Amino acid sequence: MSQPSPPAVAILMGSQNDWPKIQAAAAALDEFGVAYEARVMSAHRTPEVVHQFAASAVERGLKVIIAAAGGAAHLAGVVASHTPLPVIGLPVPTSMMGGLDSLLSIVQMPGDVPVATVGAGMGGPRNAGLLAVQILALSDEALAGKLRQFKQKLPEKVAAKDAALQKILREDAS
Ligand code: RP5
């Protein structure tokens, strides 16, 4: 019996408490039928686990790593230091600065160690998932086709929201 192929995407997070705030990344991958593994590991609390995971990611078949963390958010940068795979940094909103602290921690990487950082809050988690899909689609024509359909449908989605707003405004005015 053939083994199922290993997931192409890993979603790492510094704490299980991050999961509810970043689940939209996983939902975006689900939407496109992309398998992923989700793991809790910390650049500070479990540095050896992070090292081993990142250093063996290529041989285990991973293609993209999403790394979410909040506050002193070093997970994405440390992962990127141990792997040639593309790493997407996902800043987790915090109670102190709403995620600006996380964003600045992740985005200011030194030259030679890129991390593709998405926004904190709002569309950030969803965009992390979609960006992973876009990277995979470069070498997956079926996925590229799904992305083209997704883009084509965006105007319809916005038009439906515009129509809903116009309806509310008309009702408010009457
Ligand atoms: C970071 O520290 C995690 O990503 C989390 O956002 C933050 C706080 O972690 P907990 O104390 O909630 O576990 O490493």
In this predicted model, what pLDDT tens digit does every residue of 13-27 receive, in sequence order?
A: 999 999 999 999 999
Q: 67 and 12 in contact (C-beta within 8 Å)? A: yes
Q: Among 122, 124, 111, 121, which residue's Cα sits nearest to residue 66?
A: 124
Q: What is the DSSP letter of 94?
A: -
Q: What are phi and psi of 66, to 5 degrees?
A: -100, 130
Closest ligand 1 atom, residue 17 Cα:
12
Pocket of ligand 1 (CB under 6 A): 13-15, 17-18, 42, 69-71, 92
Q: Among 131, 143, 157, which residue's Cα sits nearest to residue 28?
A: 131
Closest ligand 1 atom, residue 94 Cα:
6
Smallest CA separation from ligand 1 atom 14, residue: 14
Q: H or E element: which one contains 36? A: strand 36-40
Smallest CA separation from ligand 1 atom 13, residue: 15
Q: C-alpha distances in angstroms, 148 versus 32, 43, 127, 133?
A: 12, 36, 16, 12
Smallest CA separation from ligand 1 atom 3, residue: 14
Closest ligand 1 atom, residue 44 Cα:
14
pLDDT in tens, 53-112: 999 999 999 999 999 999 999 999 999 999 999 999 999 999 989 999 999 999 999 999
Closest ligand 1 atom, residue 45 Cα:
14
Give the pLDDT band (50/70/90) at residue 6. confident
From 18, 39, 45, 79, give the residue whose CB has the most ligand 1 atoms within 8 Å, as the site to mutate: 18
Q: What confidence score (pLDDT) does residue 110 get?
A: 98
Q: What confidence score (pLDDT) does residue 114 get?
A: 98
Mean pLDDT of the chain: 96
Give the pLDDT band (50/70/90) at residue 3. low
Q: Does pLDDT of 126 surpass 60?
A: yes
78 token code pair: 């440390």
Q: 12 and 75 in contact (C-beta within 8 Å)? A: yes
CA 122–ligand 1 middle distance (angstroms): 19
Q: What confidence score (pLDDT) does residue 1 get?
A: 52
% pLDDT > 70, the chain: 97
